């Protein structure tokens, strides 16, 4: 029986991150992951019980951070720019894993994006909609705005080009444009 080696395990994780990022969970292949890692498929199973285990291992750091953010009390996530900064920090700490979780996730993890959208929706209902020049209590407006915020942030995260200063500036400017008619601070 082989003794698991940290270097081999890391090669598997790196190959799996690339595979999940490019083709998504559904189309990811243990054979491709093994090939990219330079090992046999059977050797992956010495480290992980299967694709689900490998996926969960890869996304667990970002998922833990997002779940902490989702679990925060409302006062801790106000205002929206504070939330956006927190989600940006989570993204920067786990770029590929964050994008995998948001775009190419396994069926059991798709709910994370919905939970983030719901969190923003609730903040909008309690903190933003009442401050509009035309106060609205319609939750559909809050949901549409929450979806716009999540999709906008994800687009910025995917395309900012690696310049963190630009990333922070784009996130700040995006929120200013979305909520230009109110003071969300």
Assess if residue 54 is contained within a domain.
no
Mean pLDDT computed over 153-180: 93
Same domain, 174 and 134: yes
**What CATH number corresponds to the domain at position 5?**
1.10.10.60
DSSP annotation string for 42-101: HHHTTT-SSHHHHHHHHHHHHHHHHHHHHHS-HHHH-SHHHHHHHHHHHHHHSHHHHHHH
Domain count within the chain:
2
Assess if residue 185 is contained within a domain.
no
pLDDT tens column, 94-118: 999 999 999 888 888 888 888 889 9
Same domain, 8 and 99: no
- pTM: predicted TM-score of the whole model, two decimal places: 0.84
For residue 43, the enclosing domain spans 1-48
Assess if residue 53 is contained within a domain.
no
Same domain, 104 and 83: yes
Same domain, 38 and 84: no
Report whether pLDDT(56) > 90: yes
pLDDT tens column, 15-40: 999 999 999 999 999 999 999 999 99
Mean pLDDT computed over 110-135: 83
pLDDT of residue 4: 64
Assess if residue 78 is contained within a domain.
yes
């Amino acid at each position: 029986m082989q003794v698991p080696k940290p270097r081999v395990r890391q090669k598997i994780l790196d190959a799996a991150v690339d595979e999940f990022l490019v083709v998504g969970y559904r189309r990811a292949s243990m054979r491709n992951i093994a090939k990219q890692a330079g090992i046999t498929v059977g050797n992956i199973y010495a480290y992980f019980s299967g694709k689900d285990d490998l996926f969960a291992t890869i996304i667990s750091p970002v998922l833990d951070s997002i779940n902490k953010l989702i679990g925060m009390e409302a006062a801790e996530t106000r205002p929206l720019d504070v939330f956006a900064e927190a989600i940006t920090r989570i993204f920067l700490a786990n770029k590929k894993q964050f994008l995998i979780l948001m775009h190419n996730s396994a069926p059991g993890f798709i709910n994370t994006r919905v939970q983030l959208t719901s969190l923003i929706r609730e903040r909008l209902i309690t903190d933003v909609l009442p401050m509009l020049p035309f106060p609205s209590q319609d939750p559909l407006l809050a949901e549409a705005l929450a979806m716009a915020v999540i999709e906008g942030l994800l687009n910025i995260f995917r395309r900012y080009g690696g310049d963190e200063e630009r990333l922070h500036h784009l996130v700040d400017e995006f929120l200013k444009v979305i909520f230009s008619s109110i003071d969300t601070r």
